[in-house]
Structures are given as C-alpha cells and as structure tokens.
Structure 1
C-alpha cells in the first residue's frame, strides 16, 4: 500500500510532467489540498522546493501556480510569522531587503509573492524606508503583468490598515482609484444581427458580463440597416446613460459604421477589435494553413512578451508570407 503522506506529492510529480496542459492545471489547482495533506513542515521542505525547481511551463500553468501559492501565505504564514517576530534591526537588515528583492524579481511569480509581505515589512520599517516601500508597492499595482497588479490590488486592503492616516488618503486611495480605472475597467461588447422576420432590419445590441460571468443585455435598438448612421445613433443613446464613458472599454468587430460612430460619440474611450472576429477573418485568408489559427490564439492569449515573440517566431519560420498579416491582426486586438 502507498504511504498516504507520500501519495499526493507522487501524483503531483506525475501530473506536472504530463503533456496534457489540462492535467497539469488540475494538479496545480489541488496544491492547497496537497499542502494540507503533507503538513506545514513537509510543504516548506519538499513541496515548495519542488515547485521552485519545476516552474518552466506555459503561462496558464504559471498563473494558476501563482494564484495557488498566494493561499500558502495564509495557510503556512511562514514569512509573515517570521517577520512579525523579528526585531526592528533584523527587519531592516534582512526582511525588508528580502521583500524588495522579490518585488524587483524578473519573474512575475516573485513579484506576486512580495505583495503579501509588504504590510509586515511596512509596520516595522523606519520612516525613510516606509516612503520607499509605498513607492515600490505603487509600482507593483501598476505592473504590466496583470497577475502582479491583481495580487497587489488583493492585498491593498491590509496595506490600507497598516499605513498612517495621512498616507491613506494621499496615496493609498489614489492607488485604489488607479486600479479601479485600469484593472476593473467596464467592458461593453457591441454587435449587430440581421433580422429575418417580415419587417427585416437590424438588431443592434450592447452586452456586459455580471459577477457570475453571465452575459446580460445592456441596451438594444432596431435600425433599417447596419451603417454609420445607425451605429452613431445607437452609440449616442448608449453614451447618454453611462456615468463615465471615458473609462469604458468597447469591444466590437471591424465594421466601418462602428469605427465611425466610436470616433464621433466615444472619442476618449478605448475601442478594441474582438480576437474571435479577427480569427474568423484570418480563416478566410488561411483556409489551407490550419496551424496559423493555432499560433494566432496562442499569441493572443500570451501573458508574457517572451511567449508572444516565441510563438510569432515559430509562425514566421513556417509561414513567412502570412506572419505580417497575423502580427497586424494581433496588434489591433
């Protein structure tokens, strides 16, 4: 019979080496359960070192790992416990430099980990270092990697309870407003469909997603045809009921009427083209090159510039004539 405490780590090792990315993701999503089965000591001595040595994987797996490891801080409270028990001199000499090194790490996983330690470092830091720590934390909130800025946003609440009242209003609330405008920017998708009833015409719609990832209609309208005039009219009605239209991100296809309407009605709002529509356009030009769409989606969903460049380089080596077309499409998405 397999020794029960050894079994979870053995399964983890097997699944993390599997070629099927879904199996690797399933294994990562069970990390918390595996850590509880191993206990605090074995998790610190065996599981975490194993994960540190086996982190060369796809972005989707690394993102899932970073999110799961965030739970380890509250579950193990390892560095937090150490920091809370250290003297101020030791904090300045050892702990705060550790947090700063993590925050400046090249890999996003290190920067994600640092976000959960800043409140410990800050509470015992001298005034000069507190200013530096607040500056570094703001930079983490503005990080180009969404998983880093999300981790910083998640820990912003406990940071707010740690900083002094004067800095809370002047700096932390400012960071919160920036995150609100950037990370949780409202997204509206607009599209049209042709009606086949007796009256004909076109149905114009704007939809959003709620907190349960369910799509709901925001507004709709009927027009005789899909043209610049009808889209400008529809977007004007939509604009008038949005409190801060300049903060909205609108997703659509490439229809000329939408582009003209956006320039006229939403000149200060972000407007991007749906990756799905762009993929359908590519399919028309690459009917005999099915692997082009494969590379397109891998590049479109890349979290790191390095992966994007690697996928595009692979595509260029296979289809050099198609590469510029795909590259231009992705820049528009």
Structure 2
C-alpha cells in the first residue's frame, strides 16, 4: 500500500466506507447517507486509490470487505464516534455529566474573589468539570484565545480586535490601605495627606505607572513611591507594620487584609471604576460548554456586592 498523506484525506470518505461496510451494498449505503449511488461509487473509487486496495469485492449481490477494509473499520468507527461526540458536545452541554477542563486566563488579584464561588458551584452542579486558572500577558490575550490555549479570560480593558468578544463582568474601585494606627491618618484621608506619605506600588511590570498614578497625573500630582513589588499580600503585610500606604483594587483589599492590623480608606480623589471584562474568541461563541461557563461567571459576578471602605 502506498503511503497515505493524512492531510489529503477527506473525512467524508470514511463515512462512506463505514456505510458500505455496514450495509454490504453501494445502493443501500447511498440510501442510508441520503446520497446518490454515483456519489457513493465515486467516493469508493477515491478510497481505493488512496489505499491502493479494492476494499470491497462483489460476491453475488453483496460487497464483501477485503482484509485491509476489515482492519480499518475498528479505528475508523472509533474515530468517527469520537468526532461525532465532540461535535455534539459543542452543541449541547450537560453540566452534570460533562467531563471537560476549561482554561481560564485570570490574574491572582482576580482569582481571590472569583474562584471560590465558581468552584463551589461547579462542585454542586458539574462535578466532572475542571478549571485551570492560568496567567496570561495582556499583549498575548487575543492570540491565546484564538489558539484555544485559553477558553476564557478575565481581565481589565485590553487591546483586542473585533474577533474577541467581551462582556462587563464587574466594576471595582481603588482603595487605600494603611496600618490601623497610622499617625498621619487619624483624620479623613484627603489628597494632601495622601501625597505627603511614602507609597508601595504593586505591579508585575518592571517599570511604568500604576492606574492610580495615571489618574493623579491627570490632575497634576505625583506621589512618592519607595517600593515597587509584585504581590498585594506581601505589600499589605508590609503596610501593616510601617507608615507606607498601598493603593489597590477594592474587592481584593477586603479579602487580603482580613486579620491584618490595617485600615481601608477611600481613594482621596474621584477616579473611574476598574472595569473587569470576560473575554472569549468569536470561534467559541456557539460552543455550548463555553457558553455555560460564561453564563455561570456572569451570574456569580452579578451576585457580588462590593464592600464599602472604612471612614475615619
């Protein structure tokens, strides 16, 4: 048999092969597949050329498979069955019976308040579903969604094309964290007191301004940053023991400061909310499983109520 190049094979030919094998007749195979007899005969000729084998020989009124055809049928049928299940699974999704892993692009600051309710609901309604929460760079977000490396992503506003769909998931605010007995913050935290203190900036980037610095620059102000670090939890522990101030997303601030001797204050000037979006590529819009997870995440986010900052 000649070497068969898989990229030259037509999947429909295997459907025809299976039908002829099952029916033992080109005529009955045509009726089963709702095709004309010449179309089935043409497909059989292509199969014979591909495998360099007659595949079926006529004995009376029956088409009898050759040894090669018999050897092909088990893997062909298993492959067709697997493909059919995959196609059907993309159209229908039963959470209670599904066995599927979803890859979710999500930063640690968002994981803290999203993963707990998500996994509690999955444990109850979809025990066979697994979630892989992974970090992705905003610059690579669209490529990861398009390739399938990510099924969904949760991120602030990102530069993506029209091929990536998004929906607003939640709105957050930025708050200021200080130690509970900070000597300069016995009264309300206003802009003058905020700017007079030293600050911690949490960022995964080596340089550049944070969201709050951009907003301060808009009104002609700049704060003094003495430490740039990567983790909010480490920064909160440091702030609890020093006079440094930390500005951070509000939902995460209330989570990570539990048990710490800190106090959470409103940011001293009005700033736009931190909009967090759910992203997915257009090629999975109609995927039933992806739609189920999008709906679940949207529902869970809608049930979250931001906690207010403390006031002096």
Query: Which TM-score band (shorter chain)?
Result: under 0.3
**Which structure carries more strand by proportion?**
2
Report the TM-score, using the length of structure 2 for normalisation: 0.25
Which structure's CA Rg is the greater one?
2
**Which structure carries more helix by proportion?**
1
Report the TM-score, using the length of structure 1 for normalisation: 0.24
Higher relative contact order (CA 8 A, sep 6+): 2
